[in-house]
Amino acid sequence: RSAKEELETSKEELQSANEELTTVNFELRMKVDEAGRNNDDLSNLMEASEIATVFVDSGMRVKRFTPQARRLFSLIPSDVGRPLMDVTNRLRYDEIVEDATAAFRQLVPIERSVTSVDDEHYLARIQPYRTSQDKIGGAVLTFIDVTELRAAESRVQRTEERLRDAIASSKDFAVLSTDLHGVITTWNEGAAVMFGYRSDEIKGQSIDVLFTPEDRAEGAPKQERSAAARAGRAADERWHLRKDGTRFFCSGVMTPLNTSNGGGFVKIARDVSNAKRRESKYNEQMTQERRASARVKAGSDLKDRFLAEMAHELKQPLNLIQVNAELLIRLPETRHSAAVQRLGGTIMRAVSTQETIVNDLLDFSRVQTGKLRLHRQPIDVVEIVRRLSEAMAPDVARKDITLQLQAPDTVVCDCDAVRFEQIIWNLLGNAVKFTPAGGSIRVSVSVDERHATLEVSDTGIGISPDFLPKVFELFSQGEAAEPISPRRIGLGIGLALVRELVRAHGGSIEASSAGKGLGTSFRVRLPLSAAGLRQPDDSRSPMSLHHRILLVDDDGDSLSAFAELLRGEGADVDMTSSPKRALTMLEAGDYDVLLSDIRMTEMSGYELIKRARSLETPKRIRAFAVSGESGEASVREALAAGFDGHISKPVSLERLRMSLGEA
């Protein structure tokens, strides 16, 4: 029994030992597998590495190497275990054994730049080989190919050298550097030329000596360095000092400079004194031009004010003459007198002529200053030409002249109707004026694809070839006018105005004449309208003067004559020379129409209408400004003040009726 128990015990011990051996065997297999995987990883890593690497033991025998190492060493797999010195290589590296020995003996890495026999550059790095037990088992030699890096460094170095040479020899730019405190450390030839200091006499001095005393007092040099350090650059334009004390204007930029001795600043500057002088001269010229422009504008404004005053002063007596002439031919005692009718008509035509001259002068001034506005719309130019030709019939008949009109039924152009009438009226008036008795005038309108052409031809006194180019100039009167009485020559404004008005419409005008005594032709071309003709406005029809009217004018003669004329036409007229009295009358009376002068001493017509509009009256009165001033600005001002319309002096009954019909 005892033996059996011992056998069983032995069996159990053997089974236990077998299990332990099985476990140990499994662990060993795991470690072998892991070692295999690690070896595979290492092999693949070395195969994939582009760095030439050689592992050697303490005897400098080859243990392992990467494929890239074969480019430098003539290694094959069977060389493992051979001394590295027995393997040929392409390196110019005689110290390789000493460096490797020093690395694993002194336990410090060693780096060295080496080349190959093919002049390739490598960074050789030798490090001690440490085992997992922290023992030194040899060395690891790596060779990193830096050939391209060295070539790039060489190119950069050559570029820097060329740049330094260019900077040093440049005379167009001053290039200098300073330390952090502004002490000059480098100085190129351009700086020497610009500032007058040699390099040996300026180095070591503060950059402050290059600044003006006032800039130094304000701390400009230090501020420039601070701005450059803070923002990376500091640009400025300022006056600098030369060695001889003269000043010049300089444009420069300062940037921080990182150097081995702690940094500093580099400043590049250029002398721009000539540009500064040109700029100053330009600014001075611009100032002079602005002053001249201001003087021209002031002169233009003064001229405009003078013309406005002149027009008012001229139209005031013309208005008195016009009103009295109309009153004269309408008096019961003279209504049937042919002589009085003839004289009255002559007076009114003279007034109309003078009014035309004044208005032409004002309009020409507005055109020249760009203050004349055109209200263009599609109009039938034939209808206007026909109507004005008929209006000219009395003058034509009086001089025994024949007037022929040849035109299609309708021609539509984009025109300001009022200004187009001015053009036609001036051309027809000139033709009548300069055509002697028995002569003829021919008016024609024709069209092509894009333009309408209006031609006014006469058999009058003609124009000499010398004067023909000047016919449209302001105040020009040629020899062709000599047969005409000086009283009929005029100022020579009409044709100058006609040319400006035609140009304002995008058209052209030309004059032609075969010479003195051979007649004249004026040809106007205007663009045709792309739009259709608008329907005529039938609202502009004359109205009866049977109204209760209040007249206000501080000119007693004009006031009385105008009132009498209106009464003769059936109007119920009250009048006053006092605007304040007029307000009282408006508040108390039931008036239909207010006709007020504008320029009055006690109160202007504008102030009168503003106060009148604030009164509580039974009905809204229709009010018209009667003024010696004409033009769009005067009309706009009158309407803005509260008037319903504007009537320019001299006032005729026909014009008054038309104004009442429009309002």
pLDDT digits (tens, 9 = 90+) for 392-451: 888 898 889 999 999 998 999 989 888 898 899 889 988 998 999 999 999 999 998 889
Establish if 289 belongs to a structural domain.
no
- What's the pLDDT score for residue 552? 93
Q: Is the domain of 523 the same as that of 553?
A: no
| Mean pLDDT calculated for residue range 19-46 | 74
pLDDT at 542 over 60: no
Name the domain count of the chain: 4
Q: How far apart are CA 141 and CA 126, in angstroms?
A: 5
345-393: pLDDT as tens digits:
878 877 776 776 677 667 666 666 666 777 888 989 999 999 889 888 8
Give residue 538's Cα distance to chain centre. 46
pLDDT at 185 over 50: yes
Establish if 334 belongs to a structural domain.
no
pLDDT at 576 over 90: yes
273-316: pLDDT as tens digits:
887 778 778 788 888 888 888 887 777 677 667 666 666 667 77
- What token pair was written down for 391? 């209006």
Q: How far apart are CA 138 and CA 450, in angstroms?
A: 104
Q: Is the domain of 430 the same as that of 523?
A: yes
Q: Supply the angle between the helices 417-433 and 381-391 in degrees, to the nearest 10.
A: 40
Q: Is the domain of 396 the same as that of 513?
A: yes
Q: 96 CB contacts (<8 Å, ≥6 apart)?
A: 84, 124, 141
Establish if 367 belongs to a structural domain.
no
Q: Is the domain of 516 the same as that of 555?
A: no
Q: Is the domain of 464 the same as that of 564?
A: no
**CA dist list (Å): 66 to 35, 39, 49, 63, 370:** 19, 14, 7, 11, 91
**Among the listed ranges 40-44, 287-291, 341-345, which one has the minimum average pLDDT value?**
40-44
- What's the pLDDT score for residue 489? 40
What burial letters (b/e) apply to 285-303, b meaning 16+ CB within 10 Å? eeeeeeeeeeeeeeeeeee
Range of the domain at 239: 152-271
Q: Is the domain of 382 the same as that of 443?
A: yes
Question: The domain spanning residue 474 has which CATH number?
Answer: 3.30.565.10
pLDDT at 491 over 70: no
Establish if 653 belongs to a structural domain.
yes
Domain boundary among 271, 302, 324: 271
Domain boundary among 12, 27, 48: 48
Q: 23 CB contacts (<8 Å, ≥6 apart)?
A: none
Q: Is the domain of 517 the same as that of 385?
A: yes
Establish if 321 belongs to a structural domain.
no
Q: Is the domain of 478 the same as that of 580?
A: no
602-639: pLDDT as tens digits:
999 999 999 998 887 767 888 999 987 776 778 888 99
Q: Is the domain of 638 the same as that of 556?
A: yes
In the chain, the amino acid numbered 190 is G
136-162: pLDDT as tens digits:
888 899 999 998 888 888 887 776 666
Question: The domain spanning residue 655 has which CATH number?
Answer: 3.40.50.2300
Establish if 316 belongs to a structural domain.
no
| Mean pLDDT calculated for residue range 593-599 | 91
Q: How far apart are CA 322 and CA 642, in angstroms?
A: 27
| Mean pLDDT calculated for residue range 306-332 | 75
- pTM, full prediction: 0.44
Q: Is the domain of 396 the same as that of 447?
A: yes
Q: Is the domain of 523 the same as that of 598?
A: no
Angle at the Cα of 473 from the Cα atoms of 470 and 475, rounded to 5 degrees:
115
Establish if 640 belongs to a structural domain.
yes
